[in-house]
């Protein structure tokens, strides 16, 4: 598709802005549809549409909704076509013209299983065929629907927000701080490098990937950390040459995204309308029936409860001799508390005025979200590493539930903006990545559960119950709506 065609489309939409919603839905639908996504420059069209939407002030929530609905419908039809054409994908036109892409999609699906539907949503080379392959290989439709819906929720902001922010910036008197553009540029460069390395060039992050093997060779002679760790336990030497590529990629990616989020939040007002719209939407949903559950969720992620969880976990691991895991979990707790406190003090962003007595600290980032993210993802990682690769997504999905619930409780109660919650989530994932990268260099012993860990878990449960009982009357009063 030529640039003249795209320019003409942009010009027509600027004259007829009422069609932006239709154009957004149709483009997201076509971009997600099997094979059609190869022929249509969906990313370029979506960027042009979102820039125009930002310029005219179209509600961001509406734009995200139409994009997500189009993507969900496109993948659903592709899945249905796969079911209809199972066993004949390489013989039916126009699929017969792309045998290499079909083969690559099948290999990708066999390797990652159902999670490939989520990954494939963001990976260019296989994006148009993964739902088709999932249908042809008889993936259960309920499972596909779950992955389809959840991935669309992440896909829509990733594709819509960049163009929308550019459009908003073109019409706003944008005067960001001096460091704004360098930080954004470096962060985008880091994300682009990881994307090209992992997806476009398909070098991979696993133990059998080319990039991993090259880095492992470079690290083979690096023994300083191993000698350091033997001071604590000579019986648990680290695996020679291991390089935590996946953890570092997660850490760098989330750090870059957090920096972009923090710059947009603290240095501009581009996201303010979206924050206010989300706050108003959650305020409209608030009902006395749901308040006790949401207050309970948010109290369970209070600082004392999370710190107690980390302390009890460290005690249990230390009692069993897993000193490396205990030290790293303790370090994660200290780092999370210190970084959140420093950022809140530096940004001083006011909280929404929706409850009777909002917390006195600044809003960005959400400490509750950051803390529960670090605790849940670290525990999930320790458990997942003892299971087979194709089973790990279930563990991560299970432990993501408390993260989502706590984040929703902060938004529901009106004590955080949406960007605060996103910032806390990204910060927590970044800290998790760095902690896991450090831990993988020192201790490779399986952390099988036993009675001591059960005892520490019960002890923490008792502490949490007592804390909630004492905190409850005050929390109910503080979080009462205005």
Mean pLDDT, range 65-81, rounded to an integer? 86
Angle between helices 418-439 and 272-285 (to 10 degrees): 100
pLDDT of residue 75: 85
Residue 435 predicted with pLDDT over 70: yes
Q: Residue 470 and residue 122: Cα distance in Å, rounded?
A: 46
Separation of first and last alpha carbons in the chain: 54
Out of 45-54, 63-72, 236-245, 281-290, pick the least confident.
236-245
The tens digit of pLDDT for each residue in 121-148 reads: 776 656 777 888 887 777 888 888 888 8
The tens digit of pLDDT for each residue in 253-282 reads: 899 989 988 888 887 777 787 788 888 888
Domain ranges of the chain: 3-171, 180-478
- 128 Cβ contact partners less than 8 Å away, ≥ 6 residues apart: 32, 33, 34, 35, 36, 37, 38, 78, 101
pLDDT of residue 18: 77
Average pLDDT, the chain: 78
pLDDT of residue 278: 83
DSSP assignment of 283-301, as one string? HHH--TTTHHHHHHHHHTT
Residue among 152, 154, 157, 103 nearest 130 (CA): 103
Q: Which residues of 182-213 are buried (b: 16+ CB within 10 A; e: fewer)?
A: ebbeebeebbeebeebbbeebbbbeeebebbe
User: Pick the residue with more confidence: 176 or 45?
Assistant: 45
How does DSSP classify residue 239?
Answer: P
Q: Which contiguous run of DSSP H or E holds residue 88? A: none
Please state, in angstroms and as integers, the Cα–Cα distance from residue 240 to each residue in 3, 135, 195, 441, following that order: 52, 42, 28, 9
The tens digit of pLDDT for each residue in 184-197 reads: 788 888 887 777 76
314: cis peptide before it, omega within 30°?
A: no
Out of 195-209, 230-244, 283-297, 416-430, pick the least confident.
230-244
Residue 238 predicted with pLDDT over 60: no
Q: Which residues of 297-319 are buried (b: 16+ CB within 10 A; e: fewer)?
A: bbbbbbeebbbbbbbbbbbbbee
Residue 54 predicted with pLDDT over 60: yes
Angle between helices 245-267 and 323-347 (to 10 degrees): 10
pLDDT of residue 387: 65
Contact 135, 81 (CB under 8 A): yes
How many Cα neighbours within 13 Å face the side chain of 434? 14
Quickly state the pLDDT bin for 173 (edges 50, 70, 90).
Answer: low
């Amino acid at each position: 598709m030529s640039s003249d065609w795209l320019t003409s489309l942009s010009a027509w939409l600027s004259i007829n802005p009422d069609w932006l919603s239709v154009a957004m839905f149709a483009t997201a639908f076509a971009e997600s549809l099997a094979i059609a996504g190869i022929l249509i420059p969906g990313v370029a069209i979506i960027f042009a549409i979102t820039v125009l939407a930002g310029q005219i002030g179209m509600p961001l929530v509406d734009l995200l909704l139409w994009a997500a609905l189009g993507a969900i419908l496109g993948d659903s039809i592709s899945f249905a076509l796969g079911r209809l054409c199972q066993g004949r994908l390489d013989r039916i036109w126009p699929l017969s013209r792309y045998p290499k892409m079909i083969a690559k999609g099948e290999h990708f699906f066999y390797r990652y299983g159902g999670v490939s539907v989520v990954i494939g949503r963001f990976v260019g080379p296989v994006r148009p065929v993964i739902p088709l392959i999932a249908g042809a290989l008889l993936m259960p439709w309920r499972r596909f629907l779950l992955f389809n819906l959840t991935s669309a929720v992440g896909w829509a902001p990733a594709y819509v927000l960049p163009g929308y922010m550019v459009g908003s910036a073109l019409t706003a008197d944008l005067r960001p701080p001096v460091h704004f553009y360098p930080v954004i540029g470096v962060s985008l460069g880091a994300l682009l490098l990881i994307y090209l390395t992992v997806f476009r060039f398909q070098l991979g992050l696993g133990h059998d990937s080319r990039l991993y093997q090259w880095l492992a060779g470079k690290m083979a002679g690096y023994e300083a950390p191993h000698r350091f760790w033997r001071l604590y336990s000579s019986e648990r030497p680290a695996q020679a040459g291991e390089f935590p590529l996946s953890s570092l990629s997660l850490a760098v990616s989330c750090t870059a995204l957090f920096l972009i989020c923090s710059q947009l939040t603290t240095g501009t007002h581009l996201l303010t309308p979206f924050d206010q719209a989300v706050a108003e939407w959650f305020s409209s949903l608030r009902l006395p029936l749901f308040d006790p559950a949401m207050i309970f969720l948010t109290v369970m992620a209070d600082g004392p409860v999370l710190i107690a969880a980390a302390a009890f976990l460290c005690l249990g691991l230390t009692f069993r001799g897993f000193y490396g895991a205990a030290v790293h979990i303790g370090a994660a707790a200290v780092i999370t508390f210190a970084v959140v406190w420093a950022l809140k003090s530096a940004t001083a962003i006011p909280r929404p005025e929706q409850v009777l007595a909002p917390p006195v600290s600044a809003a960005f980032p959400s400490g509750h979200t950051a803390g529960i993210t670090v605790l849940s993802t670290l525990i999930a990682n320790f458990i997942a590493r003892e299971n087979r690769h194709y089973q790990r997504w279930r563990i991560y999905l299970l432990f993501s539930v408390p993260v989502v619930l706590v984040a929703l409780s902060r938004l529901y109660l009106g004590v955080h903006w949406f960007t605060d919650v996103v910032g806390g989530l990204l910060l927590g994932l970044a800290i998790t990545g760095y902690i896991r990268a450090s831990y993988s260099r020192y201790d490779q012993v399986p952390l099988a559960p036993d009675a001591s860990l059960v005892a520490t878990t019960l002890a923490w449960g008792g502490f949490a119950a007592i804390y909630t009982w004492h905190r409850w009357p005050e929390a109910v009063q503080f979080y009462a709506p205005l």
